[in-house]
Chain A
């Protein structure tokens, strides 16, 4: 392990192993650049796993994309047969041969025609190959399937020695070559070719699990290079081979702070007012008929209204069906479709295997470059793959979409009414936002409650909202929490009415009270004024007594003065004077 690391490091410093890009989508990512330049690579696998196609694609792509002419030495099929076989992938071998970019040399061996009369060697093949390589300046060579020699010639000792010589000769010649070999019993190839070709070995496998066939590719070894070691699914479609790396190696994604609306204002409000993050993944799960598709359609509609492009992958309904059904909630998807903003891809899950689905999704996305992708529903994919396969597929899809900064919404059907945190194909841990629409059954009716179970990186409401679908569209309303639990639907309405009545009664009661107070105030005010009057009269009386007193005193002193004057007594004058001053005081 450590030694390996060391040598790798040295490689790093001095020179990278030169690689020739295969041009096969996905393969170059796994091998981090392609097949080793100037060295032979062995591709082995069962019959029908795609060995020949892969090697031909290597040659064709090399000739077209990388300007590296190639020689195909076919031991099984003639040039015409090969050309016909790969014509369906858009490879025009005839034309490429005319353009001197490709040379096909068919090697025909028939044991019945050949008599071995002594020592021989395979110089014939060497010379033919050499001639073919030199005639077009080939950089790539395919030997498909060289093991046929074993069927045609008896002397295995000679053959083995010659094959060894052939591979080292190919290396010397500096051509990047692919040797194909049929899988053997307990060995990678029937005749142990892996013994001779030790630089790079790729193993192809074709397995059928639950009636669904999946092709898988594994790099058994790749001397002098790091490479992905997993089994990668690959498939063959009209464009040739596509290998799908299961997961990208890192989690170094760009993130965006931009938000995009869900199309339901109340829902946006539940998530801090603006909606989902751009490039995030949203899962809407719920039981049947809870409005998952409607929600997805709303999201799509909103994206299109904002001038964004959207792809809707439907696994249950046909495009027309979706358009018609959404009309019933006043959603006009048709105009977006005709404007080219919305594309609806409908396919039955059972149409092909999961990988094929994934690739068709990849392709559609690559071609259309949408901002929003909707998969409705992912649960249907289980019919074509196991739970873990679906999950692996979705991981890859989410990975890919995050790379492209595409927002994705999945819908998932949960089969059991009770909320289980483990449902939804286990993708709930992958997604950024999980909305759950749940049936709330009470009073003989079924209503929908919407929860935000999680919303990464966003403040979100913990409240259950009632999710209503009317012919005007979708909306969320607050549910009533009563003593008997959550009230929805007509119970909520009843409660509303009840409360409205309550308000009216209270208003009335308040008015009565107000009037009563008014009256009381008036009475009090009246009382206050009468008391005031009483007080005033009492005061007056008091004053009067006082004034009378003064008056009396004045009158008294006056009369006394007069009396004194009348008496004319001298002694009394003094006293009178004192009294007077007293009075003045």
Chain B
């Protein structure tokens, strides 16, 4: 990971703290898959460097408007860097990592 740090867009990546928010719709298959996939990605690439909030939009419908939720499941990367959104069941790891701003080779 240190090898990538100098090349990273975000500067010193070791100090980055990832704030992630995952919106899901109850226990739909997509949602369950998304949670599993995302957790796997985070554990692999961001161990101890992230906080993940999982929001069931059915329970908190009012948040949907504020966060501009359209498609589900949706992951919002609040920080570091600019906000990014990822939709889908997070099965495409490459795209998830690109969204999070992590170089795949870092693994």
A121 x B71 contact (CB < 8 A): yes
Q: Which residues of chain A have C-beta atoms less than 8 A from B68's C-beta?
A: 107-109
Partner of B70, one of A115, A118, A122: A122
**Once bound together, how far apart are the Cα atoms of A105 and B73, in whole Å?**
20
Q: Known contacts A117-B95, A119-B30, A131-B64; is A124 also within 8 Å of B74 by CB?
A: yes
Q: A157 at the A/B interface (Cβ < 8 Å)?
A: no
* Number of interface residues, chain A, beta carbon within 8 A: 25
Q: Which of A108-141 contact B (CB under 8 A)?
A: 108-109, 113-125, 127-128, 130-132
A115 x B84 contact (CB < 8 A): yes
Q: A153 at the A/B interface (Cβ < 8 Å)?
A: yes
B88 x A120 contact (CB < 8 A): yes
Q: Which residues of chain B have C-beta atoms less than 8 A from A123's C-beta?
A: 25, 28, 57, 71-72
Q: Known contacts A121-B72, A127-B69; is A115 also within 8 Å of B61 by CB?
A: no
B73 x A120 contact (CB < 8 A): yes
**Once bound together, how far apart are the Cα atoms of A119 and B29, in whole Å?**
10
- Which interface class (under 10, 10 to 19, 20 to 34, 35 or more) fits B? 35 or more
**Once bound together, how far apart are the Cα atoms of A105 and B98, in whole Å?**
30
Partner of A121, one of B30, B84, B98: B30
Q: Which residues of chain B have C-beta atoms less than 8 A from A115's C-beta?
A: 84-87, 95-96, 98-99
B74 x A128 contact (CB < 8 A): no
Which residue of chain B has its CB nearest to the CB of A110?
A: B85
Q: Mark interface residues in B21-41 (1 if CB within 8 Å of A CB, else 0).
A: 001010010100110010000
Which residue of chain B has its CB nearest to the CB of A122?
A: B71
Q: Mark interface residues in B41-73 (1 if CB within 8 Å of A CB, else 0).
A: 000000000000000011001101100111111
Which residue of chain A has its CB nearest to the CB of B100?
A: A115
CB B95 to nearest CB in A, in angstroms, measures 5
Q: Which residues of chain B have C-beta atoms less than 8 A from A119's C-beta?
A: 30, 33, 88-89, 91
CB A380 to nearest CB in B, in angstroms, measures 54
Q: Known contacts A113-B85, A127-B64, A131-B61; is A120 also within 8 Å of B95 by CB?
A: no
Q: Which residues of chain A have C-beta atoms less than 8 A from B70's C-beta?
A: 107, 109, 122, 124-125, 149, 152-153
A residues near B (Cβ < 8 Å) are 105, 107-109, 113-125, 127-128, 130-132, 149, 152-153
Query: 4 tightest A-B contacts by CB?
Result: A118-B88, A124-B69, A131-B61, A118-B91
